[in-house]
Every structure is written in structure tokens, then in C-alpha cells.
Amino acid sequence: MDRAARLLVHGAGGRIGQLLLPLVLADPRWQLVAALVRRESALTGQPVAGSTLRYSTDWPASVDAVDVVVDFALPAAFDALLDQVQQRGCALVSGTTGLSDDQRKRLRECAQHAPLLWASNFSLGAAVLAELVRRATELLPESFDVAVFESHHSGKRDAPSGTALTLAAAAARDPAHVPSICSLRAGQIVGEHEVYFAGPAERIELVHRAADRSVFARGALSAARWLMGRGPGEYQVRDVVLHR
């Protein structure tokens, strides 16, 4: 693409949305075209710092005004978001967790017409952790018990975390034997995931700790960059890691 790609942030008022905006504005490869918030948000109509835009609830009028949407909002906003993506055929990078089975199904359907990448965790380290869990599951005998632990800040609404579900799926030998997940919500914990492989007289512990939420915002923007120019399909953060 020989011009800046036009990017819309959905959920711009949230913790991750607020980290995304300055990163987008500082990168000349992106042109921020809209910062969307909830209608009831106190930010509606306020200027976006460092830009001429204002926080808005309205999508750009022209259907082809957006190349890629980066979404970190809530499941309640997801259906309307997919309506827009479907209508516009733009790319979508979404980190919104707690989606329903129907929403996941719709996401897959939408991917027939647009390049989409949903991930429960956009940090590079968490993607590598999932690969290590897959490998450990292949190597270890079935006699090893597997357990997943996740800890997050008390403001996180969904439990277990999307990342814990991804890790449990990575460690499942078959759909009937998905490892159990323990969730903790406390204080300001950004995000910690541990996977135990416990054998008769030994234990492997694989751990990932996110120290700062900006890791998710940076990872989502790398994924959005990677998605530019790709055809319709449902991509995974794993594709970004393995095909950098």
C-alpha cells in the first residue's frame, strides 16, 4: 500500500483504546479516520488528543473510507461492529473477549468476505506460550495432568480469560478432555497465565506475565499491518508470529 492505511479504532474510550490512539497517531503508516465510543460515553464529541478528530459514535459515511478496524470494546457492541465490517468489506482486528458462540460463528462467516483476525491475546509472548503448550502436549504422555491458571485486574468482566481458553484448547488432546481453568480477579494485575503439566513425580510450569497493557495495543497494530493487502479469511495471531 503506497499511502497511509485508514484505520478506525472501535472502543476508543477503553483502557486499550486509549493506548492505541497515540500509537496510531505517531505512526505515519496509519491514518486515523475515526475513534468510536459508546453513545453514552463522556468522551463523545471531545477532541482526540494529537489529532483533528473528535470521539464519535458514527461510522464514516463513505463505505470505503476504512481499510482496517481495530476493535477492543465489549461483546454487546460486537454484532453492530460486524454489520459494519460486512457492509464495508474492510479488514478487522479484534481483541474483544467474552464473545458468544453465535458471535464467533458470525465472525467466521464474515471472514469469507474480508480479512479478519481475532485473538484473545495480542502479545507475542502469549502466542509463543500457546505454541509451547501445543508442543509439550505432543511430547508428554497422557498420564500428565494439565491445569491452566489465569490472573487479571478486578475490572476484567469475563472469566475465564480468552487467553486461558486458548491455552486450554492448545493443551486438549480431544474436545472431551479440555483442562480445567482457575481464574483470579484482583487489584491491577495486567494479565498472567500459567500452564502446569503435572506428572507422577515432576511438574513443568509454563508462565507468561504481561507487565504493561501497551503490549496488547502494539501487538494488535502489528497484526493490522500484517493483515493489510491480504485476502478474505480468518487469520490467527499465530500466523503473524510464524509468518513475520
Ligand X SMILES: NC(=O)c1ccc[n+]([C@@H]2O[C@H](COP(=O)([O-])OP(=O)(O)OC[C@H]3O[C@@H](n4cnc5c(N)ncnc54)[C@H](OP(=O)(O)O)[C@@H]3O)[C@@H](O)[C@H]2O)c1
- Our CB check for ligand X shows the closer of 160 and 197 to be 160
Is 177 a residue of the active site?
A: no
Q: Which parts of 122-195 fold into alpha helices (H)? A: 124-139, 162-170
- Over the range 5-27, which residues count as b (16 or more CB within 10 Å of their CB) and which as e? bbbbbbbbbbebbbbbbebbbee
Q: Which parts of the chain fold into alpha helices (H)? A: 15-25, 78-88, 101-110, 124-139, 162-170, 214-227, 237-242
> Per CB under 6 A, does 74 bind ligand X?
yes
Q: How far is the CB of 132 from ligand X (least distance, A)?
A: 18
> Per CB under 6 A, does 144 bind ligand X?
no
Half-sphere exposure of 113 (CA within 13 A, CB side): 13
Q: How far is the CB of 202 from ligand X (least distance, A)?
A: 32
Total of residues contacting ligand X (CB under 6 A): 28
Cβ-contact 59, 34 below 8 angstroms: yes
- Would you give the DSSP letter of residue 11? S
> Per CB under 6 A, does 218 bind ligand X?
no
| Contact pick of 31, 41, 214, 236 for ligand X (by CB under 6 A) | 41
- Please state, in angstroms and rounded to a whole number, the distance separating the CA atoms of residues 71 and 11: 6
Residue closest to ligand X (Cβ): 14
- Please state, in angstroms and rounded to a whole number, the distance separating the CA atoms of residues 99 and 104: 6
Judged by CB under 6 A, which stretch of 68-76, 102-110, 180-188, 227-235 contacts ligand X?
68-76
- Our CB check for ligand X shows the closer of 60 and 98 to be 98
- Our CB check for ligand X shows the closer of 21 and 114 to be 21
Q: What is the dihedral of CA 156, 160, 162, 167, to 10 degrees?
A: 140
Angle formed by the axes of helices 214-227 and 124-139, to 10°? 80
> Per CB under 6 A, does 72 bind ligand X?
yes
Task: Please tell me which residue in 113, 153, 156, 193 is annotated as part of the active site.
Answer: 156
Is 156 a residue of the active site?
A: yes
| Contact pick of 8, 59, 67, 97 for ligand X (by CB under 6 A) | 97
Q: How far is the CB of 36 from ligand X (least distance, A)?
A: 5
- Our CB check for ligand X shows the closer of 60 and 140 to be 60
| Contact pick of 9, 66, 70, 73 for ligand X (by CB under 6 A) | 73
* Per-residue cell: 186: 484482583
**Binding footprint of ligand X on the chain (CB under 6 A):** 10-11, 13-17, 36-38, 40-41, 72-74, 76-77, 95-98, 119-122, 156, 158, 216
